[in-house]
Amino acid sequence: MSIAYIALGANLGQPAQQLRAALLALARVPELELLAQSPLYRTAPLGPADQPHYCNAVCKVKTNLTPEALLEQLLALERAAGRLRSEDRWGARLLDLDLLHVEGEQRDTPQLQLPHPGIAQRNFVLTPLADVAPMLLIPNVGRVDELAQKLGRSGLEPWSE
């Protein structure tokens, strides 16, 4: 069994409801157990400023799936939620699920990079990750609570309906 960390985000439709639905869907994936989830955070969009704020969270799961199989499950959940991946890397979206880290695993392929390459630069990822795994040491990156503290909480606020 491996422990994995997944970032969740949405800024179209009803973002908080979509993240909650995604967490429920993750809990139903065979060979995956949802262990913890962070609070929801409201964050300004990364990329074009003319889009709604995001709702972001992170969850911790235990799984027998390989990182590649887990990524396929995440992409299937995005599609089921209505997300169509496009060339617009920073555009608005109904659901975004990113595999951040799988303990004991590293990847550098066109399909999957582990740990996620932007993990140390994004407080909307590190703050919720620190909520579920503050002492997590990410190889060649650092300890999550220290990284989150270094970036601070600028632009983050609790999600309110």
Please tell me which residue in 28, 88, 96, 153 is annotated as part of the active site. 96
Q: Which residues pair with 40 in a beta bridge?
A: none
Q: Which residues pair with 58 in a beta bridge?
A: 7
Please tell me which residue in 98, 107, 143, 153 is annotated as part of the active site. 98
Please tell me which residue in 79, 88, 93, 153 is annotated as part of the active site. 93
Question: 121 near 40, Cβ under 8 Å?
Answer: no
Name the residue with tokens 């999550």.
Answer: 144
Question: 142 near 73, Cβ under 8 Å?
Answer: no
Whether 96 sits among the annotated catalytic residues: the reply is yes
- Rounded distance between C-alpha atoms, residue 107 and residue 84, angstroms: 24
Question: Torsions phi, psi of 108, nearest 5?
Answer: -145, 75
- Rounded distance between C-alpha atoms, residue 94 and residue 33, angstroms: 24
Whether 83 sits among the annotated catalytic residues: the reply is yes
Please tell me which residue in 28, 50, 83, 108 is annotated as part of the active site. 83
Question: 2 near 96, Cβ under 8 Å?
Answer: no
Whether 108 sits among the annotated catalytic residues: the reply is no
Q: Which residues are catalytic?
A: 83, 93, 96, 98
